[in-house]
């Protein structure tokens, strides 16, 4: 029952020796996981194995091995692990990131990709720029609340793109409902939190027996997750029906279905679910990833990845003032301080583009990406990978590999992408995940990062906190461990660079009034 049947002449990949029965339970890092994974990679090589109870986890520590598994053998390594509580009892199976690999996932992925591929995302730029201008105005008023502002505009953009809905400046009902759903997700997103994930037969236990409170919780959370998916969709659909809609992901898909005479419930379901995951993935409530086995995250992940990625950028600017100055010199020379940056300026701003890349590389937001699972058993060289193993791309290590990204990988040096010391780019080396599951929102996210980063740098100065005399104090922040790693409790200063910047921002107000 508890032993592995490993074919003769093969062995599991190397890794720390575990204890009987519980395996490596006590070896699993509880914080700054990437440091432990780095140690294991140094000691055991490009593929490392651990086991907790009966769950095998394999860490992939080199770009070559990541290519071999996630790309060359992509159909075997595009699965996700079974999550009974989340998918079967709480109804989250509508969410593409949780779906097992197969035809259903493929249909959702196709619907998403159709409107979010690299040539399609240009249509979102007008919404992105409009809200980035709003971000600048908000920063001008209350710079200390920068994280709230980033979250607000991220939610506003995604609701517009996804459903053509304009959210309220505060306390929006769609966002409020989504937050409740996300709370459930936060609780059940760590496989193993609920025993039913380990012993799926428990879902059949009658509700009146003691120890089944998880079923009550699941029912409540199921209502929330269903409402989160249904309500904005129904609203958008009604607007399309009355012709009062604004173009959106949902309206474009509904138009396509009508044109192809395929407006049938099964097709609509896919559109609704794909829109729901745009919402979950991009709004300020996002927390849908599957933290890997036994790795409790230390705080609920409530934020969109683009928002968290932006907090990493802000931290980097405060820590590396020379980079900030250089970026501002480039912006000033192109824009002359007489107009705000636009998407069209991107080709003239190579250093800013390099800052965006370095933001994705320097401290990866998802240091261990999102766990995949092996659909079938497999053999890699002399190593045996059991069916169902959790397979984790060690993104931290890949993005800090000096052969690929040049020396001093811990330093924030955009120059590495300009002077060619970097032979790779982070967007296809793990920052957005791997193989068939690679983040389908990445093109849209990269555009947003570019315009937000360029706009903030053009107009604001970021530094450590200032005292009453305007003297800079040491920066204060903490980095979270767990699934997402990003700075929190940051004490820093964001202030307009000059009077001209204030004027430029204030002028945008006239245009929206």
Provide the minimum distance between the beta carbon of 106 and ligand HEM in the complex, in angstroms, as a whole number.
Answer: 9
Q: Find the part of the chain contacting ligand HEM (CB under 6 A) among 56-64, 135-143, 244-252, 362-370.
A: 362-370
- Which of 455, 478, 118, 183 shows the shortest CA–CA distance to 310? 455
DSSP 8-state assignment for residue 464:
S
Is the CB of 15 or the CB of 367 nearer to ligand HEM? 367
Is the CB of 435 or the CB of 496 nearer to ligand HEM? 435
Provide the minimum distance between the beta carbon of 126 and ligand HEM in the complex, in angstroms, as a whole number.
Answer: 17
Told to check if 278 binds ligand HEM by CB under 6 A, we report yes
Q: Find the part of the chain contacting ligand HEM (CB under 6 A) among 37-45, 51-59, 305-313, 472-480.
A: 305-313
42 contact partners, CB below 8 Å, separation of at least 6: none
| Rounded Cα gap, residues 212 and 240, in angstroms | 43
Is the CB of 309 or the CB of 481 nearer to ligand HEM? 309
The reply, when asked if residue 222 is annotated as ligand binding, is no
CB atoms under 10 Å from CB of 466, counted, come to: 13
Region 81-110 residues binding ligand HEM, contact defined as CB under 6 A: 96-97, 109
Out of 128, 248, 311, 369, the residue judged to bind ligand HEM by CB under 6 A: 369
Which structure tokens are listed for 405? 């990204």
# of chain residues touching ligand HEM (CB under 6 A):
26
Is the CB of 140 or the CB of 190 nearer to ligand HEM? 190
Strands (E), 375-501: 378-380, 383-385, 390-393, 460-463, 476-479, 487-491, 493-496
Provide the minimum distance between the beta carbon of 428 and ligand HEM in the complex, in angstroms, as a whole number.
Answer: 12
Told to check if 287 binds ligand HEM by CB under 6 A, we report no
Provide the minimum distance between the beta carbon of 445 and ligand HEM in the complex, in angstroms, as a whole number.
Answer: 4
205 contact partners, CB below 8 Å, separation of at least 6: 211, 212, 215
Structural contact between residues 406 and 421, judged by C-beta atoms closer than 8 angstroms: yes
Q: Tell me the CA distances in angstroms from 203 to 4, 87, 190, one per residue in order.
A: 26, 12, 17
Strands (E), 37-157: 47-52, 55-60
Q: Site map for ligand HEM, 401-440, x if CB under 6 A?
A: ------------------------------xxxx--xxxx
Which structure tokens are listed for 189? 């997103």
Is the CB of 341 or the CB of 365 nearer to ligand HEM? 365
190 contact partners, CB below 8 Å, separation of at least 6: 291, 294, 295, 296, 297
SS3 of the chain: helix, strand, coil, percent, to 5? 55, 10, 35
294 contact partners, CB below 8 Å, separation of at least 6: 25, 28, 52, 190, 192
Query: How many residues would you count in the chain?
Result: 513
491: β partners: 476
Q: Find the part of the chain contacting ligand HEM (CB under 6 A) among 19-27, 176-184, 275-283, 350-358.
A: 275-283
| Rounded Cα gap, residues 47 and 391, in angstroms | 10
Provide the minimum distance between the beta carbon of 155 and ligand HEM in the complex, in angstroms, as a whole number.
Answer: 11
Q: Find the part of the chain contacting ligand HEM (CB under 6 A) among 276-284, 377-385, 460-468, 489-497.
A: 276-284
The count of C-alpha atoms lying within 13 angstroms of the C-alpha of 195, restricted to the half-sphere facing its C-beta, is: 10
Told to check if 163 binds ligand HEM by CB under 6 A, we report no
Provide the minimum distance between the beta carbon of 92 and ligand HEM in the complex, in angstroms, as a whole number.
Answer: 12
| Rounded Cα gap, residues 30 and 36, in angstroms | 10
Told to check if 282 binds ligand HEM by CB under 6 A, we report yes
Is the CB of 97 or the CB of 464 nearer to ligand HEM? 97
| Rounded Cα gap, residues 184 and 167, in angstroms | 23
Is the CB of 153 or the CB of 365 nearer to ligand HEM? 365
Is the CB of 214 or the CB of 289 nearer to ligand HEM? 289
Is the CB of 175 or the CB of 277 nearer to ligand HEM? 277
Provide the minimum distance between the beta carbon of 383 and ligand HEM in the complex, in angstroms, as a whole number.
Answer: 21
Told to check if 370 binds ligand HEM by CB under 6 A, we report yes
Provide the minimum distance between the beta carbon of 446 and ligand HEM in the complex, in angstroms, as a whole number.
Answer: 7
Is the CB of 370 or the CB of 501 nearer to ligand HEM? 370
Told to check if 365 binds ligand HEM by CB under 6 A, we report yes
Provide the minimum distance between the beta carbon of 115 and ligand HEM in the complex, in angstroms, as a whole number.
Answer: 10
Told to check if 281 binds ligand HEM by CB under 6 A, we report yes
Q: Site map for ligand HEM, 55-74, x if CB under 6 A?
A: --------------------
Angle, in degrees to the nearest 10, between helices 499-512 and 125-141: 120
| Rounded Cα gap, residues 251 and 260, in angstroms | 14
Residues that bind ligand HEM (CB under 6 A): 96-97, 109, 277-278, 281-282, 305-306, 309, 365-366, 369-370, 372, 431-434, 437-441, 444-445
> Which residues are documented as binding site for heme?
439
| Binding residue numbers | 439
């Amino acid at each position: 029952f508890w032993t592995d049947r490993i074919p003769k002449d093969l062995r599991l990949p190397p890794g720390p020796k575990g204890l009987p029965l519980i395996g490596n339970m006590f070896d699993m890092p509880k914080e700054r996981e990437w440091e432990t994974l780095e140690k294991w990679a140094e000691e055991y090589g490009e593929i490392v194995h651990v086991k907790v109870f009966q769950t095998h986890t394999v860490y992939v520590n080199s770009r070559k091995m990541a290519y071999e598994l996630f790309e060359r053998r992509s159909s075997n390594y595009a699965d996700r692990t079974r999550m009974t509580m989340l998918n079967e009892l709480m109804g989250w199976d509508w969410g593409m990131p949780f779906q097992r690999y197969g035809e259903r996932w493929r249909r959702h992925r196709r619907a998403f990709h159709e409107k979010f591929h690299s040539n399609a995302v240009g249509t979102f730029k007008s919404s992105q720029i409009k809200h980035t201008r709003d971000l600048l105005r908000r920063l001008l008023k209350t710079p200390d609340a920068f994280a709230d502002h980033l979250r607000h505009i991220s939610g506003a953009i995604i609701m517009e793109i996804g459903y053509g809905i304009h959210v309220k400046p505060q306390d929006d009902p769609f966002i409020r409902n989504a937050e409740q759903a996300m709370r459930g997700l936060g609780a059940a997103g760590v496989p193993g939190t609920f025993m039913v994930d380990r012993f799926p037969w428990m879902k059949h236990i009658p509700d009146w027996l003691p120890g089944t409170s998880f079923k009550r919780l699941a029912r409540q959370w199921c209502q929330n997750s269903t409402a989160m998916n249904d309500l904005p969709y129904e609203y958008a659909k009604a607007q399309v029906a009355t012709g009062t809609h604004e173009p959106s992901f949902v309206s474009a898909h509904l138009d396509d279905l009508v044109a192809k005479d395929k407006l049938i419930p099964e097709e609509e379901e896919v559109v609704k679910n794909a829109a729901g995951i745009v919402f979950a993935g991009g709004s300020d409530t996002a927390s849908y990833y599957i933290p890997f086995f036994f790795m409790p995250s230390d705080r609920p992940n409530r934020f969109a990845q683009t928002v968290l990625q932006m907090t990493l950028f802000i931290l980097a600017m405060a820590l590396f003032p020379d980079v900030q100055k250089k970026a501002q010199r480039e912006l000033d020379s192109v824009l002359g301080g007489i107009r705000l940056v636009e998407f069209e300026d991107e080709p003239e701003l190579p250093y800013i583009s390099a800052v965006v890349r370095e933001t994705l590389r320097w401290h990866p937001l998802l240091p261990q990406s999102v766990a995949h699972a092996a659909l079938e058993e497999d053999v890699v060289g002399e190593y045996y990978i059991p069916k169902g193993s959790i397979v984790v791309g060690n993104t931290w290590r890949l993005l800090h590999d000096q052969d690929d990204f040049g020396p001093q990988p811990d330093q924030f040096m955009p120059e590495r992408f300009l002077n060619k010391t970097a032979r790779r780019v982070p967007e296809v080396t793990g920052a957005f995940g791997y193989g068939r599951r690679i983040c389908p929102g990445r093109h849209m996210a990269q555009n947003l990062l570019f315009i937000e980063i360029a706009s903030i740098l053009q107009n604001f100065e970021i530094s450590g906190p200032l005292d009453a005399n305007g003297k800079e104090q040491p920066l204060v922040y903490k980095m979270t461990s767990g699934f997402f790693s990003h700075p929190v409790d940051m004490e820093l200063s964001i202030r307009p660079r000059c009077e001209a910047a204030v004027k430029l921002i204030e002028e945008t107000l006239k245009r929206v009034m």
